[in-house]
Homo-oligomer: A and B are copies of this chain.
Amino acid sequence: MEITRKNFKQMLNFVTESINDADFLSVDGEFTGLDAKNGGHAMPFDTPEVRYQRVRQGTCDFLLLQFGVCTFHYNEEKSLYKARPFNFYIFPRPYSRSGPDVRFLCQSSSIEFLVSQGFDFNKAFKDGISYLTPGDEANLREALHQKHQQFSQFSSPAFVTPDGVSQGTSKGPVSIPDEQKEFIKEICEKVSDFVEKSTEDKLSLPSCNGFQRKLIYQSLRAQFLSGIHLETQTDEKKERHIVVTRIKSEEDMKRREAEKQAAEVTDLDNAVGFTKVIRTISQSGKLVVGHNMMLDLIHILHQFFYPLPESYEEFKDMSMSAFPKLLDTKLMASTSPFKDRIMNTGLSDLQKILEFKPFQKPQVEIEEKFNKYTTEKGPLHEAGYDAYLTGICFICMSNFLGTFQNPSQNIVPPSSPLIQPFINKLFLMRVHDIPYLNLAGKDLTPNRDHVFHLTFPKEWKTSDLIHLFSPFGGSQIFWLDDTSAFASLYLKEEAQKVLQNLCKSGTVYTIKTYHQYQHSESGNQALSRKRPTPSTENNVPNKKRKSLNVEAAPFVSRSITPPIPEENTENMDEPNGKDANNIKAMETESSNVKDKKKEEQMFVEPEVW
């Protein structure tokens, strides 16, 4: 169901009910861009905290323009899920001239991509639903309250400006420039005629500019001390004109003003708009499922709650307090028992794979009144449709977990303990050895003693790097830019030999251990500006253990192998660390490389999700 500002008010109750009745929700967002700089928000060997800082700084200036929520309600009678996919267009239309005038960033490739998928920008910009953050809402309510209070202190109606505030205390009148005199004289005559002769209640003056309106206000005020009420209105073409209304009595005036104030409060309520939907989702406490949802979560928090905190721990707290139960289907699909059975975890491919054995297509019915999305062919990358597919994938994978039970369990509800290991863990794109960001507990801290950071002349190619490490059993190369890369030894035990043989002076390259790199200035370059203590970055997981006091989510699944590597991965084995993210690692290897490394070009494309 498409929701724009045209039907938002009318549908809000229905949306709220649907959310509150759901067994779980799936969500998806479409943004105006991904990275403020090329490859800015995802670098290999980021820690979850570093990744958070990158995303916070690199993607929050983009706008979430479309938001999909699909509510899933299990119908016991029919033994199937009833789905209600909602597709919201969102736009920060300035609520008033004192409201926030949001600046947002666009990325050409993202815009081009969306437009190629049929995204309707005109609809988003024209009919997108407004929203306000709680902070902006509070400020605007306070300003409105003050304005209404001030009004009651001044009685003469002609002193009312377009915003209903008295000009009684303002500076004296401005002098009317020669070229404006005739225009103002004509206006005064027109109003004089209206007051004395007309039988109409209202007179619309011709549209004119702000300075002219100021002159009109002060001239009419002087001439008609009371008896008229002035108000500036804006037409569809954004032109402003003054409307003169005849005032019959003090009572009439008060009633008129009371009506106006009530209308202003309603306007502000309307301006809160889409934020209400997000609040409903938050307050419902329902399981919220997304696919590769880190960016979605971060945009939702930033756009509809509060500016993202600088502290990573505060971000975790904020996330958990806004959405206590999250689940990322891309992480789920990349983890045992799914990872060996799923070749491609992009949403569309994933959904197709999950229709075939060993998986089973779930019974999901889209209710009347909703877009008839089908899993076979739908408007991929429309947020409502992607949310719908995400929910389908979740149901399917959940049910698959039930097949390992004894006896086999056909339907695994979202409340099942089988799901628990996947709760509140966000897929971490392009990180070689850490599959997820752990919102509700401490993050994984894999050993990286066999990882080295290199800088070298820009003529160097992959083969030069391969050659450098071949005496030590070879290494995987992760390009950072033209002149730097990470190398991860295949044989971890060779790390010491690399240190002894390659770390010497007089080479055209410089090599650092991962640990040295993290502590060096260059490692914190992207993050240094706003982070007070970048050099402690490496110690954060320990620090967090003490300060956060949140238990790591226990792995309660007993009948299947633990789906996610154990929390303590200091001595994480190669298969755990590598295979699970093999695809991502390979993609990463080339995803940040410039065109000079030509053999890598075919992987520069953004990850599909």
Contacts and interface: CB of A to CB of B under 8 A. Distances in A.
A598 B166 CA distance: 8
A532 to B, nearest CB: 20
B238 A463 contact: no
Instruction: Specify which of A33, A36, A103, A115 lies most central, judged by the most chain B CB atoms within 10 Å of its CB.
Output: A103
B101 A109 contact: yes
Contact of A595 (B101, B143, B172): B143
B125 A209 contact: no
Contacts of A102: 107-108
A586 B161 contact: no
A62 to B, nearest CB: 9
A217 interface: yes
Nearest to A116: B238
B112 A125 contact: yes
Contacts of A214: 586, 602-603
A598 B125 contact: no
Interface in A114-164: 114-117, 120-122, 125-126, 143, 147, 150, 161-163
A212 interface: yes
A179 B344 CA distance: 9
Contact of A601 (B163, B463, B608): B163
Given A163-B598, A163-B601, A598-B161, A170 B582 contact: no
Interface in A218-238: 232, 236-238
Interface size class of A (residues with CB under 8 A): 35 or more
Contact of A177 (B113, B143, B240, B582): B582
Contacts of A586: 174, 211, 214
Interface in A543-596: 579, 582-583, 586-587, 594-595
Given A143-B595, A169-B463, A113 B601 contact: no
A361 interface: no
Contact of A461 (B105, B161, B169, B608): B169
B108 A103 contact: yes
Q: Identify the 8 closest CB pairs spanning chains A and B, nearest first.
A: A170-B599, A98-B595, A165-B598, A210-B603, A121-B121, A115-B125, A102-B108, A179-B343
A491 interface: no
A14 to B, nearest CB: 27
A67 to B, nearest CB: 17
B121 A108 contact: no
B126 A343 contact: no
A117 B239 CA distance: 11
Contact of A161 (B33, B217, B340, B599): B599
Given A107-B103, A108-B94, A113 B162 contact: no
B171 A477 contact: yes
B601 A165 contact: yes
Instruction: Specify which of A33, A101, A477, A603 lies most central, judged by the most chain B CB atoms within 10 Å of its CB.
Output: A101
A149 B600 CA distance: 18
Given A103-B33, A210-B587, A211-B603, A463 B240 contact: no
A93 interface: yes
Contacts of A599: 161, 165-167, 169-171
Contacts of A179: 339-343
Contacts of A344: 208-209, 212
7 contacts: A91-B112, A101-B108, A103-B105, A165-B599, A171-B477, A210-B604, A214-B603
Nearest to A591: B210
A113 B170 contact: no
Given A147-B598, A171-B477, 20 more contacts: A36-B103, A94-B108, A94-B112, A98-B604, A101-B107, A103-B105, A111-B125, A114-B125, A115-B126, A116-B238, A120-B122, A162-B602, A163-B602, A170-B599, A170-B600, A171-B466, A177-B579, A179-B339, A210-B587, A210-B603
